Amino acid sequence: MNRRHFLQTSLASFLSVPAFALEADNPYRKNIGIQLYTLRNQINADLPGTLKAVAEAGYKQVEPYGFPDATALDLIKVSKDLGMAANSSHFAWESVTDPDKAGVAPFADILQKAKDAGLSHLVIPYLHGDSRKTADDYKRLAERCNVGAALAKEAGIQLAYHNHNFEFQPFADGKSGYEVFAAEFSPEMKFELDVFWVKVGGIDPIELLGKLKGRVSQIHLKDLKTGMTLPEFGKVPDDAFKELGQGIIAMEPIIEAAALAGVAHAHVEQDQSPDPVKSIGMSMDYLKGL
């Protein structure tokens, strides 16, 4: 059986079974998270009220952003008070990728604050454009990530990298930055795979999860509107981001593939929405099969 036929057959089998995402005992559904960047404007206006709405929508854990700033620390505390866990956070990533830059806090200090906050995962959420121009840039970044991952492991914390779409743009030799990371990351350094941006980058998220089995610690679930020309390596329109079930990405087989790949946590995210509180409720309704 050739590789393409295997993938087609596997996808067909995923689609033919009952929706994995909607099963009552699905571990991701039971512990589904929300990346709070989705609600950043609402959080700035009313942090406790927004988190109360998140809890009432049925989310069981939160993934803050900007750790260890004061807002992130407040997000963790208030979320826990509302009965939601906080296992992971996006953080001040230059402590890993550009540790000698003026004003950057030592990663060791951030790790201690993460331990104090009860976090088990830290995620590099982005890379500045001037740091990722060439394949050699990605190799240097991978080296620094590996150093950070080793330090994090000593602290009992898993370090991971969250993708966008730019990592999938090929360089002149045909290899992409993401492929460099996949080749250069140490076993201690993991991926947080954002299925929306993987799709926008022209890659099948299910296939990528299979290739990275054992190397993806978390996933971000978000949907993509119909009609997009793919791949796209630049900015996408705000209305490209859709609630789960409202776009072209089949979430159930992705969640099934995530389970087979050993993913620990799944978080809903929607970078742009005219009504984020409504959107996170719609995505939760989809996961519950309503």
Are the C-beta atoms of 267 and 218 separated by less than 8 Å?
yes
Are the C-beta atoms of 67 and 90 separated by less than 8 Å?
yes
Helix or strand (DSSP H, E) at 19 = none
Would you say residue 13 has pLDDT above 80? no
Q: Mind listing the pLDDT tens digit for each residue in 201-221?
A: 999 999 999 999 999 999 999
Burial code (b: 16+ CB inside 10 Å, e: under 16) for 109-126 equals ebbebbeebebbbbbbbb
Number of Cβ within a 10 Å radius of residue 73: 17
What would the mean pLDDT of 76-97 be, rounded to a whole number?
Answer: 98
- Residue 223: phi and psi, rounded to 5, are -110, 160
The partner residues of 121 in beta bridges, in order of sequence, read 88, 158
From residue 134, alpha-carbon distances to 74, 170, 174, 190 in Å are 38, 10, 12, 21
Nearest by Cα to 191 from 213, 176, 224: 213
Q: Mind listing the pLDDT tens digit for each residue in 243-262?
A: 999 999 999 999 999 999 99
User: Residue 161 corresponds to which tokens in the numbers above?
Assistant: 């990298």
Would you say residue 232 has pLDDT above 60? yes
Map out the domains of the chain as residue ranges: 25-288
CATH, domain 25-288, list 3.30.1370.10, 3.40.640.10, 3.40.50.720, 3.20.20.150: 3.20.20.150
Q: Residue 23 — very low, low, confident or very high, per pLDDT cuts 50/70/90?
A: low
Tokens 């930055």 belong to: 177
The whole-number pLDDT of residue 5 equals: 42
The whole-number pLDDT of residue 89 equals: 99
Nearest by Cα to 186 from 143, 232, 131, 123: 143
Tokens 């998140």 belong to: 54
Q: Mind listing the pLDDT tens digit for each residue in 153-207?
A: 999 999 999 999 999 999 999 999 999 999 999 999 999 999 999 999 999 999 9
Q: In whole angstroms, what is the distance from residue 26 CA to residue 196 CA?
A: 21
